[in-house]
Amino acid sequence: MRNRTVSIVCMLLCLLGISRVSFAQQEDNLLRREYQVAMEEHVQNMIAALSMYSSDIYYENESVLRTRRVKLIRVFFRSEQAKMYDFLKIGVETQDNYLDVMEFLRTIPVVLPRVTFNMSVEEISPYVRLASGEFKLPVKIAITFVDLNTNQERTMPSRVYNVYYWQSENGNFAVSSMDLLREQQQTVVRNEGNASEWIAQGDKYYNAKNYTSALTYYKQAAEAGNARAATMVGWIYKKGLGMTENAVEAVKWYRMAANGGNASGQVNLGDAYYTGEGVTKDYNEAFKWFMQAAQQGNSTGQSWLAIMYRYGFGVAKDETEAVKWYRKAADQGSDFGQYYLAEMYENGYGVEKNVTEARRWYQKAADQGYEKAIQKLKVLSGTSTSSTSGKTYKEYEKMADEFYDKKNYTEALKYYKLSAPGNDGGVFNRLGYMYSAGVGVDANASEAVKWFRKSAEQGYMIGQYNMGLMYELGRGIGKDVNEAIRWYRKAADQGYQNAKDKLATLSDTGTTLSKTEIKYYVDKADKYYKEKNFQEALKNYLIAANAGDDYAQNWVGWMYKNAEGVERNYMESYKWNMKSAESGNAYAMNSLGILFENGQGVEVNLPKAVEWYRKAANAGNVHGQYNLGRMYENGRGVTKNIILAKQWYEKAAAQNSSDAQSSLGTIYYNGEGVTKDYAKAMEWYRKAADQGNMYGEFNIGLLYEFGYGVTKNLDEAAKWYRRAANRGMERAKTKLQELGR
């Protein structure tokens, strides 16, 4: 049996025997791919060796090149039936340095079969001596076992773990402790008890707004099969809590939750398909997931299902069915369901018209603070009736709608006009459309403008859009693009997509915007960005960017680079940053430096990167100053010069760049270009750490651990390592383990 899931670093000693098996090329390639996937999935590699070491690493001399291959190792575990397990199968070829092989093996994920081990420390010792002595390998490996069934780990003195370590001859890497049992329990066996603990921890951190820690625990619980936890992971990604918003990643976790039967996950997945956020818009899929949630009694799912039936999204239009689902949601206390059930009663959609019942449901929603219901009650309290027929304007409107649906446009026009005194923006817009298109009446653009204007002034977004269209085309009114933009903007502000598209199109075609107009779009974009509504932010930045605003151009470049509201596109990022930089934007200059340094959207060109960093730095940009210092310190694209690096770091540090402050600390720590000065290093590290810089925190820990410039204090060292570890630094986590903290 071969298992391949848990990331446990291992070199194996055979208990009973070793067999060498060559690999087929396809197996080799498959394993390499598996290794690559594992490396991406497991950020934290295990810090220990497992089981026994095998001598089945050999050298083949082929002229100058020495090739190594780690062959299939078959391990016989001591168990009742002495079963044989295929434990590790890795192919490594043409490695120029043996340590590369070891580093490769150190990160290979394998699974420990569920089998009882009864090895004592004394039994392990011979294999340790064999590994470190007889074969004289460059890396000394020691291994400890735990009994998975009896928790033997707990009875072993902790010092045993610290005795066994990896240490390369040149000190490249070392590990000093192991925690096998926890990893095995989490992955070999699903531990529902642990999942409950993890989700409880996730809730605690979420409520405290520590979203990074909450995400860690929710993920652990989700991967152990807890569907609610998967929903919470999706929510954190969707809302960008503690991170950049990621709708695609959110959908992945919502799907896991939905497939696990979680109603909230099903609603959120349905919403993603409905809006097309993180996935291709698909009303059929949205309907499917809303239905599953609704059938579980989820009121939000029921409300959404009602909407789908009401408007025929993903299912045949059925207002009666819509009423049924609105009622289910309303009966559970959903203010949304109550409001729209009232609307159905008020208008007689899918149910016999009953204004009294409508008022009752509006009141229930209003009692919960639902603003639309509060406003609707005010409107109903002043409903007018016609003195000649006793019919309300709403009744005339409904009659007009019925005639319109039956394509009796002449009668529809008549009743729409009768309902017009009710000042309904939708009615005005319909009349405007009929006059504009010649439906049921001779086309009359001027009359269309009259009705569209009434609709627009009532705040009806489609009427506002149509008013913009008439101005843009000069139909029934003098052509005025600026006035068209004004009306399009009003409609866009209410979320009307056609209006947003129109604004973007007008901007793309070079329509001149005033400074006031540009500021309007930039301010809107900034607001959307702060709310993490990246798609809307990008649309508004693009309008201003196309009008030549360098600030907006820089933001467009940033969003293309970081895949915010749009698919990542480095070439687009380069294009917009170049436009912005050419207008003198220092942030864009720094961004161009990054693109040239990393080869993103352009070929790697370090001298060019330095050129742009210098332009940004000379313009006073703190990031450009830090990056220019970094290039000088490392000799990238320029001759290495610690003195100049220090000068630029100091400029950036004066602007509170924590990275620059930490780098200055390191210069004094190493004594490069300056006299070594641990006190000065500590001073700069503290400035960086005070801003939450994990490198500054880690380096303070180093100074305390070894007593450099301060009294040696392992407790203080652990405190600073822990701060860095909490920010995700792996080296800090390893340090804490080395200190036994």
pLDDT of residue 294: 93
Distance separating alpha carbons of residues 472 and 481, to the nearest angstrom: 5
Model-level pTM greater than 0.85?
A: no
pLDDT tens for each residue of 472-510 = 888 888 888 878 888 888 888 777 878 877 777 665 555
For residue 61, is pLDDT > 70? no
Q: Could you give the 3-state DSSP secondary structure of residue 175?
A: strand
Is 435:441 a contact under the CB 8 Å cutoff? yes
Give the integer Cα–Cα distance in Å for 602 and 578.
Answer: 12
The lowest-confidence range among 170-174, 208-212, 530-534, 606-610 is: 170-174
Match 């101005």 to its residue by tokens: 471
For the ranges 103-107, 147-151, 486-490, 725-729, the maximum mean pLDDT occurs at 725-729
Q: Region 697-711: what's the mean pLDDT?
A: 92
pLDDT: which is higher, 329 or 98: 329
The pLDDT value given to residue 653: 94
Which pLDDT belongs to residue 703?
94
Give yes or no for residue 56 having a pLDDT over 90: no
CA distance linking residue 403 with residue 397, whole number of Å: 10
Mean pLDDT of 598-616: 92
CATH tag, 515-693? 1.25.40.10
Mean pLDDT of the chain, nearest integer: 73
Give me the mean pLDDT over the 168-189 stretch: 31
Q: Hey, what amino acid is at 419? A: S
Say what the pLDDT of residue 639 is.
Answer: 92
Q: Which CATH number fits domain 423-508: 1.25.40.10, 3.40.50.1100, 3.30.360.10, 2.40.50.110?
A: 1.25.40.10
Domains 192-380 and 423-508 share a fold: yes
Mean pLDDT for the stretch of residues 377-394: 54
User: Of 203-207, 466-470, 551-555, 649-653, which range is least confident?
Assistant: 203-207
CA distance 175 to 8: 13
> Under 8 Å CB-to-CB from 119, ≥6 apart: which residues?
78, 145
Whether 255 shows a pLDDT value over 90: the answer reads: yes
What confidence category does residue 131 fall into, taking pLDDT thresholds of 50, 70 and 90?
Answer: very low
Contact 344, 338 (CB under 8 A): no
pLDDT over 70 (residue 163): no
Top-confidence residue, 6 or 711:
711
**Maximum alpha-carbon separation in the chain:** 110
Residue 117 confidence class, pLDDT cut points 50, 70, 90: very low
- Tell me, letter by letter, the H, E, C secondary structure of 451-472: HHHHHHHCCCHHHHHHHHHHHH
Sequence ranges of the domains in the chain: 25-187, 192-380, 423-508, 515-693
Topology of domain 192-380, CATH: 1.25.40
> Is the per-residue pLDDT at 647 higher than 50?
yes
Residue percentage of the chain with pLDDT more than 90: 33
The single-letter DSSP state of residue 531 is T
* pLDDT > 50? residue 67: no
Neighbours of 643 (CB within 10 A): 11
Instruction: Give 193's pLDDT tier (boundaries 50, 70, 90).
Output: low
| Residue 384 pLDDT greater than 90, yes or no | no
Strand arrangement, sheet containing 139-140? 139-140, 166-168, 174-175
Torsion sign (Cα): 614, 617, 623, 628: positive
117: which strand partners? none
Q: With a cut of 80, say whether residue 726 has pLDDT above it.
A: yes
Is the predicted pLDDT of residue 716 greater than 90, yes or no?
yes
Higher-confidence position of 416 and 87 = 416
Q: Are 583 and 561 in contact (CB under 8 A)?
A: no
**Bridge partners of 351?**
none
| Structure-model confidence comparison of residues 543 and 128, the more confident one | 543
Inter-residue contact 43 to 149 (CB < 8 Å): no
Reply yes or no on whether the pLDDT at 450 is more than 50.
yes
Beta pairing class for 139-140 and 166-168: antiparallel
* Residue 305 near residue 311, CB atoms below 8 Å: no
Segment holding 88, helix H or strand E:
strand 84-88
**Model confidence pLDDT, tens digit, residues 202-242:** 888 888 888 888 898 899 888 888 888 999 999 999 888 88
Is pLDDT of 249 > 60?
A: yes
Tokens of 645: 């690096």
Region for 599 from its dihedrals, namely left if φ exceeds 0, alpha if ψ lies in -120 to 50, beta otherwise: left
pLDDT at 707: 92
